[in-house]
Amino acid sequence: YVGLGDNAEALTGHNWLRGYADDEHPILNTPVYHMDSSAGATAAFAAIMGLRRRRKTGQGTAIDFAQIESFIPQLGEVHLDYIANGRNQRTSGNRHPTAVQGCYRCRGEDRWINVTVNNDEEWQGLCQAMGHPAWSREERFSDQPGRRKHHDELDRLIEDWTGRHDNFELFHILQRNGVPAGPVVNEKDAFVDPHLNARGFFQVILQADTGTYRYPGFLWKMSQTPPTYRLPPCRLGEHNDYVFREVIGLSEEEISELEKEQIIGGDRYVWA
C-alpha cells in the first residue's frame, strides 16, 4: 500500500505509546515524524556499508530497506516487555515508571520545565529549591512510593511553585540543588543557546531564493576532516545538466523531449 512514514510509524506501536493516559488511541496524537529521521540516518549508513563493500570487493550490492525496521529497535524496551512479560505498555504522558516526573508550567506564555525526582536525595534538593514549603513535610510525601501514589496532587503543588518563576531560572536553581531538570525550549531558545553557539553549531548560509540565515549545522565534529558546507541548498532544477548529461549520460534529444513534456525543468515549472 502507498503511505508515508507517519502511517508506518503507527505500526511500530509508537503512536500507541505517545500522549496521556486518558487519551483515546491513536487519533489524538500530533505527528512527530521520528521515523523519517531514523530512516534517513539508517539508510545513509547502509549506503556507506555498500560503498565500503564495493571498495573492498569491486562488487555492488542491492539494499532492501524498510523505514519501520529502522525504528522498531528504538522502542526495544517496550517490545521486550511484551515478549518477556506479556505486557502491552500504553501512554504515560510525562510520567515515568519509577520516578516522580512532570512537565510543569512556568511564568510567561507557553513556558515549561521538565523535572524528575528519582529518590529521596533529589526530593530533598527539590524541597530546598522550593524553600521547604509546609506541604513538602507531609507524611504522604516522605518517601518515593508515597510521592508516586499522590503524584497528581504533587504535580499541582509543584506547578503552583514553578508557575511563579522563569523556566531557565528554575533550570539553574534545580540543577544546583541536584535535581534533574531542564527547560522546554522553542526555536528562539535553541538559536541563542550558549552551548550550541560556543560549539559553532549554527552555520551562516546564503541561498539565492531565501537569503542569508543561520541554519543548524553538522551533527558531529571531526578533527582530521572537519565537515564544511560547499554549496547552499540547491534550487529547483539547478543540477539538471550535471545529473542528466554527466551522471546519466542522456543525449540532447532525450533531454529536450523530457523538457518538452515538462518531466524535467527548472523554476519555470513551479506553479503559482
Task: Mention every residue, 6+ apart, whose C-beta is less than 8 A from residue 40.
Answer: none
Q: Is the pLDDT of residue 237 over 60?
A: yes
Question: What is the arithmetic mean of pLDDT over 48-55?
Answer: 96
Would you state the pLDDT for residue 81? 94
Would you state the pLDDT for residue 182? 97
Confidence band of 8 (pLDDT split at 50, 70, 90): confident
Q: Is the pLDDT of residue 27 over 70?
A: no
Helix (H, G, I), strand (E, B) or coil at 105: strand
Would you state the pLDDT for residue 270? 47
Q: Is residue 180 within 8 Å of 116, Cβ to Cβ?
A: yes
Question: What is the arithmetic mean of pLDDT over 25-49?
Answer: 85
Would you state the pLDDT for residue 231? 85
How many angstroms separate the Cα of 245 from the Cα of each of 38, 134, 199, 248, 257? 33, 77, 40, 6, 14
User: Per the structure block, which three cell numbers stand in for 210?
Assistant: 531565501
Q: What's the pTM? A: 0.76
Would you state the pLDDT for residue 240? 85
| Highest mean pLDDT pick, 81-90, 120-129, 256-265 | 120-129
Q: In the chain, what is the straight-line distance between the N-terminal and C-terminal CA atoms, in Å? A: 31
Would you state the pLDDT for residue 2? 82
Helix (H, G, I), strand (E, B) or coil at 63: coil
Would you state the pLDDT for residue 198? 95
Question: What is the arithmetic mean of pLDDT over 17-41?
Answer: 80
Which is more confident, 157 or 40?
157
Q: Is the pLDDT of residue 89 over 90?
A: no
User: Per the structure block, which three cell numbers stand in for 118?
Assistant: 528519582
Question: What is the arithmetic mean of pLDDT over 100-127?
Answer: 97
Other Cβ atoms within 10 Å of 24 Cβ, number: 8
Any idea which of 86-100, 235-249, 258-272 has the lowest mean pLDDT?
258-272
Q: Write down the mean pLDDT value for the chain.
A: 90
- Alpha-carbon distance of 10 to 15, in angstroms, equals 5
Would you state the pLDDT for residue 37? 86
Condensed to tens digits (0 to 9), the pLDDT of residues 122-176 reads 999 999 999 999 999 999 999 999 999 999 999 999 999 999 999 999 999 999 9
Confidence band of 267 (pLDDT split at 50, 70, 90): low
In one letter, which amino acid is 248? I
Q: Is the pLDDT of residue 61 over 70?
A: yes
Residue 161: HSE in the Cβ half-sphere, 13 Å Cα cutoff: 21
